[in-house]
Amino acid sequence: MNAAPGCAGRPYSRTARRCLRRPPPGVRRLACLREGTGISLLLFAHCATEHAARRLHTLLKSNGLDPDPPPLAPLLTRPALPPLPAPLPSPAALPPDRFAQLPALTELSKCSFTRFRAEAHHRLDEDGFARVDAQYHAGLYAARTHCARVPQAAHRQETELFLARLTATSPSRAHTVARLRGAQAGFLTSGLLLQTPPVPDSASGPGLTTRPVTGYVLHQASRGIAHPVQLAAILALLFTGTHPDALRATPLSGLDARCTRLTVPDVWHPGHGSPSEPPGVCYVIPPRVRPVFAAARSFRRLGHAADHFPLFELSFGHRLDALAKDAALPIPALTHAHYGPDWHHRARCHQLTGDSPAPQRRPPRRTPPLRPAEPPPSPHTLSSSERAVLLAHTDNAAPGDLTLEQAAFLAAAFSGHPATAGRAPLSASALAHLTERRLLDARSTARIPVLHPDLRFALALSTRCARARNSA
């Protein structure tokens, strides 16, 4: 209802609406209102059918509100609405992740990469070896591609990023071990030696305490956690597998501009917290997670957060248990025993030369390795000396790994490196040691070394590379 010019329209509109709640008495009141005040009334009626419009016309006319023609039927009726389309079926829930299972590699994980593939072929059945060999070749070809594309493949940070990228998608420890042994063989064929620290059951890092971030994982986590920063924190625990205290200390500057790398402080290092911080631990952010980290950074920037401010604010501490419950996903980094720095941060890659010096072994420390019965809940509970002992323990190479001198000799032997031309014959003790370790065949002599078949099988070499070109 609207009033004529010169009259207050809003009070009369409210009065008209109240009057129309009871049709016959209300219409009579509106007629008396028009006669007493001289206003003009305009009625907007939404009638579903033509019959309803005629009934309204009769009601108005019988109570003294005779509407003026044009006829009401075309004005007060509306065409019938088309039927609503059938509701779309709700999208089906994403199926849970299913990965190919590998046989347990408890004994094989202790073998060096020079014997891993041959031992797997001897101990596993045909189907089990085929699955393990597929993961082994994935690491082998990835290492060869990395060495061919990256100019400084032996650089510490490049090696760390490569190992994180290679093992972050490993669904189990067996996948990680197979890929790592293949990567070591691939590095050796490119003239590099990849030495990794022992990977005990209590170690943490990519491939050990991580879970691949698939579409199902991202869907489940985003359903329970809406905050972009807290969602990024939970996903970071999934693909890094590091200690929550390390992620809590991650600054905003630890995320690169394209959201592809995440640098986390090394809280296990004795120099953590000093003015000259030790190098951080680098992780590769999976492609599915990068939009989430971009949203988290934008959210932090809206609060005028500086580069040194924490990236995952209000995500750890007493809130972590609630967030893990909301994500409805098992997080290995929270249930696995953490002790020591991540294994890929302690790996080293060495450039092999024809005259590589003997490796400098650290003298044995008087302090025994730090091995408490239960790992501490936080790295900050350790003293600086305990962290130093722990760092020295994790920096040591595995007992079965090659030395730099042995790796340089083998790389020159199977590649026909020119450095072998001027090499002196092997001593009797060195020849016996290499033969005992199944690196050289029993047919080898001091001047003509022959690679062991297991080593050629591990490096995916043909029999043509069996003999090296040595001069007299």
Task: List, for residues 164-197, the tens digit of each pLDDT value.
Answer: 999 988 998 899 999 999 999 999 998 899 998 8
Task: List, for residues 18-46, the tens digit of each pLDDT value.
Answer: 455 556 777 777 777 777 777 766 565 55
Averaged pLDDT for residues 408-412: 84
| Lowest model confidence (mean pLDDT) among 27-31, 150-154, 367-371 | 367-371
Query: Does residue 221 have a pLDDT over 60?
Result: yes
Averaged pLDDT for residues 195-216: 84
- Candidate ranges 289-293, 361-365, 398-402; pick with highest mean pLDDT: 289-293
**Dmax (CA) of the chain:** 130
Task: List, for residues 77-131, the tens digit of each pLDDT value.
Answer: 445 556 667 776 766 666 777 787 888 887 888 888 998 999 999 999 999 999 9
Task: List, for residues 257-302, the tens digit of each pLDDT value.
Answer: 999 999 999 988 888 888 888 899 999 999 999 999 999 999 999 8
pTM for this predicted structure? 0.73
- What is the model's pLDDT at position 103? 85
Residue 336 region, left (φ>0) first, then alpha (ψ -120 to 50), else beta?
A: beta
Which of 413, 414, 391, 423 shows the shortest CA–CA distance to 462?
Answer: 414
Averaged pLDDT for residues 234-254: 93
Query: Does residue 136 have a pLDDT over 90?
Result: yes
Write down the domain spans for the chain: 9-76, 215-335, 404-465
Contact 197, 346 (CB under 8 A): yes
Residue 77 has phi, psi (to 5 degrees) of -100, 160
Q: Where are the alpha helices (DSSP H) in 112-257?
A: 113-123, 126-149, 156-167, 173-189, 215-224, 228-240, 244-248
* Residue spans of beta strands (DSSP E) within 285-433: 348-351
